[in-house]
Amino acid sequence: MHIFGNIHLKSPERELFNKIAIESLNFIKAPCAIIINSEASHGRNMIELIHFNLQSDYDYFLNFEEDHFCVLQDKAIFDSIMRKAMEFNVDVVRISFHSIELACANAAPAIYEDELVKIIRMTPEHFQKFCIPFKRFYLGTNCIFKAGYAKRFFSRIGQRPHDYELRHYQSDMEYTLLVPKVEILRPIDDDHGAENTCCLKNPTELFTQLYNKYKKQ
């Protein structure tokens, strides 16, 4: 498990969020490589990070973004989720906007489900069910990726992270998805349509501690 990031910090607020978000991931104890304010394309940087740090297409990495805070601090639970991802050859683990992901996963048929995870093959039919009750993109970037799938995902033409999001189903990008039933990341300043779910409106004790710590610096 690695943590990769390719981010732009264009304001003091973003720099503050970045410090908080990085420290929230310390419990994973994973190698971390983050590119800051690069002028190269997002995809090119991500491919280079994968190539130079991962040995197998079956390795996983967390795509770090500075405005998402890790509320989960239990490594045993995190490791259990990732073991299920490896067991079922999962391509993508959606790890933010937790309440939205759970609501959308509810109607989609599962390959496997237990008290901790739900695993879904994102076929056109299953994706259609996944868009209830929230209209969703087929795939965003707030995820843990398997290296082999990520190479295809980030090899497409684009400059910024949002350029790589898939709005609609694409047969060449079909993937196996894991939706955790515990919250892993929480957006810091974006409710994303689910009212009062971001950290600034619904902070954890750790978020408040880190926010106050770095705000004073």
Place of tokens 């990008």: 173
Residue 191 pLDDT greater than 90, yes or no: no
Rounded Cα distance between 203 and 53, Å, is 33
Rounded Cα distance between 107 and 136, Å, is 14
Residue 175 pLDDT greater than 90, yes or no: yes
Which helix (DSSP H) or strand (DSSP E) does residue 203 occupy?
none
Determine the pLDDT at residue 161: 87
Residue 106 belongs to what domain range?
2-215
Q: Which whole number is the average pLDDT over 38-65?
A: 95
Greater model confidence, 216 or 19 = 19
Q: Specify which residues 94 forms β-bridges with.
A: 143
pLDDT, one tens digit per residue, over 143-167 is 999 999 999 999 998 888 889 999 9
pLDDT, one tens digit per residue, over 118-147 is 999 999 999 999 999 999 999 999 999 999
Determine the pLDDT at residue 108: 96
The per-residue pLDDT of the chain, averaged, comes to 95
pLDDT, one tens digit per residue, over 57-97 is 999 999 999 999 999 999 999 999 999 999 999 999 999 99
Domain count, the chain: 1
Determine the pLDDT at residue 217: 78
The neighbour count for residue 166, using CB atoms within 10 Å, is 16
Asked if 159 and 40 touch (Cβ cutoff 8 Å), the reply is: no
Choice among 41-55, 61-75, 189-203 with the minimum mean pLDDT = 189-203
Contact residues for 34 (Cβ-Cβ < 8 A; gap 6+): 3, 4, 5, 6, 7, 22, 64
Q: Which whole number is the average pLDDT over 97-125?
A: 97
CATH code at position 95? 3.90.550
Determine the pLDDT at residue 31: 93
Residue 194 pLDDT greater than 90, yes or no: no
Q: Which two tokens stand for residue 52?
A: 């130079």
**Strand arrangement, sheet containing 32-36:** 32-36, 2-7, 60-64, 143-146, 92-94, 176-180, 117-121, 112-113
Q: Which whole number is the average pLDDT over 190-213?
A: 93
Of 200, 203, 197, 202, the closest CA to residue 100 belongs to 197
Determine the pLDDT at residue 64: 96
Please list, residue by residue across 89-105, b when 16 or more beta carbons sit within 10 angstroms of its beta carbon and e when fewer do: ebbbbbbbbbbbbbebb
